[in-house]
Amino acid sequence: MKMNRNAAVVVPVAGVLLGVLDFVWIKYVPFPFGGLGNSIAVWAVAAFLLTFLSRWTLPVGILGAIVCLVLAVPSYYLAAALIQRDDPANMYNTTALLWMGSGVVAGTVFGAAGVLARTSGRLSAAAMAMPAAVLFAEATMQLRRIGNPDYETAETVEYTAVLIALGVILTVLVSRSWRQRGLALLLALPLTAVGFVLLSLTGFR
């Protein structure tokens, strides 16, 4: 299919742009919105949107999302090396490899969700809930920082509000009716709990 063949062009471009623009976003966009550049949830959402908008088959969507996220990691560090003269070795050090490994997992789950969200199957509503769920999970982790002297309470609350609002907005955009939107937001609640546990296991704080 032609839609699947264009993945060979779209995926590498999307991966490089995600990594480069993410670094630029972190460097130049003020907080709280600038905090989205450091969000593992935002990268997962990017994988979801890539496959949701591209209309690929499930195998191509999963592979495309994985390649996109993995390629975004060295692209991020390459941008850092060019813009602020960071060590180019960061592109392939242990931290980069760990992020690539996370990209494989996130690409598999959210790439599949992006494809399934376009279908009329039983899993479509749950798939539509995935972007909100991962953003809400990160928001929950942010709320745990309130009272921690290492973090400013006001900034934590502001960033949490941004994550929650983004999750709701994305659910509205990817769903086709208000019934679907309500169901997706409802399903996002238990999925948030799952996401919270998984983020905790990765060491994300």
Is the pLDDT at 201 greater than 80? The verdict is: no
Q: What is the pLDDT of residue 70?
A: 95
Q: 3 vs 75, which has greater pLDDT?
A: 75
Looking at residue 204, its pLDDT comes to: 57
What digits encode the pLDDT tens for the residues 85-120? 888 888 988 888 988 998 999 999 999 999 999 888
Number of domains, the chain: 1
> How many separate helices (H) and strands (E) can be counted in the chain?
8, 0
pLDDT tier at 61 (50, 70, 90 boundaries)? very high
More confident residue, 37 or 200: 37
Q: What are phi and psi of 124, to 5 degrees?
A: -65, -40
Structural domain including 126 reads 2-201
Alpha-carbon distance 150 to 76, whole Å?
Answer: 27
Q: For the chain, give the mean pLDDT.
A: 89
* Tens digit of each residue's pLDDT (9 = 90 or more) over 143-155: 888 877 877 888 8
Question: How confident is the model at residue 3, as a pLDDT?
Answer: 54
Residues 6+ away with beta carbon under 8 Å from 162: 32, 33, 35, 36
Nearest Cα to 43, choosing from 14, 63, 69, 77?
69
What is the pTM (predicted TM-score) of this model? 0.90
d(CA 123, CA 75): 33
